[in-house]
Amino acid sequence: MNKTTISLLLVLATFCELSYADAGDQYLLPKLGYMSVDLNDADPIFSLGVLYGYGITPGFTVEGELNLGLSGGEYDNTVSSGTRLQGEYSIWTLAAYGVYRYPVTNVIFLKGKLGILYENIERDGTQTPAAGTPLPDSRKTTGFGAAGGIGAGFVIKDSTLEFEVTGIDEDIIFYSIGVNYSF
């Protein structure tokens, strides 16, 4: 780590105090991120999301999360048969998680989550055989599945800054950053 990062962490640790969601506490966490998609040499999708959390016990919450793909999502790949696939795709997800935050210090915590996720993936493109005419290739895939993630956070006064990595399915990883607002 460089000296600026270490200095920033020390300043945060000096002025911050760790707090947990107690039973009945609620919070919103707007988040920005990108979805890395390992499919057809696809570009990542930049996403805007929001999650709502409700405290069950100190450290343990349930969260509902919605993420909407905003931009990106182009793909261009030639598969083994010589067929070229190209076009655009979009993703949005809706999920429910059980979440546990583990304190590392009084201002830094680790986060783990596991739950169920609904995903909607739409693709609009073409398939061009090696010696042929382009054919339309539009598909919509939806479904439920298990999802989970890990993260870390820093408490800054009455809010938290959280960084997460979430596995949406075997081909999609969501990297995000968000700020928690309690109410």
Summarize pLDDT for 48-60 with one digit per residue, the tens: 999 999 999 988 9
Range scoring the smallest mean pLDDT among 58-67, 105-114, 130-139: 130-139
More confident residue, 133 or 22: 133
Torsion angles phi and psi, residue 10, rounded to 5: -65, -40
* In the predicted structure, residue 8 carries a pLDDT above the cut 60: no
* Closest listed residue to residue 172, CA positions, set 33, 35, 31, 32: 35
Find how far residue 135's CA is from the centre of its chain: 33
Q: How far is CA 131 from CA 82, 125, 127, 135, 158, in A?
A: 9, 18, 11, 12, 62
State mean pLDDT over 1-21: 49
Which tokens sit at 84? 């070229």
> In percent, how much of the chain has pLDDT > 90?
52
Q: Are 106 and 18 in contact (CB under 8 A)?
A: yes
Structure confidence at residue 12 (pLDDT)? 45
Residue 70 has pLDDT above 80, yes or no: yes
Supply the pLDDT for residue 33.
Answer: 94
Calculate the average pLDDT of the chain: 86
20 backbone dihedrals φ, ψ, rounded to 5°: -115, 155
Using CA atoms, how far apart are residues 121 and 77, in angstroms rounded to an integer? 18
Query: 40-44, 62-66, 114-118, 120-124: lowest mean pLDDT where?
Result: 40-44
Tell me 42's DSSP state.
P
- Look at residue 9 and give its three-state secondary structure: helix
Q: Match 């429910």 to its residue by tokens.
A: 96
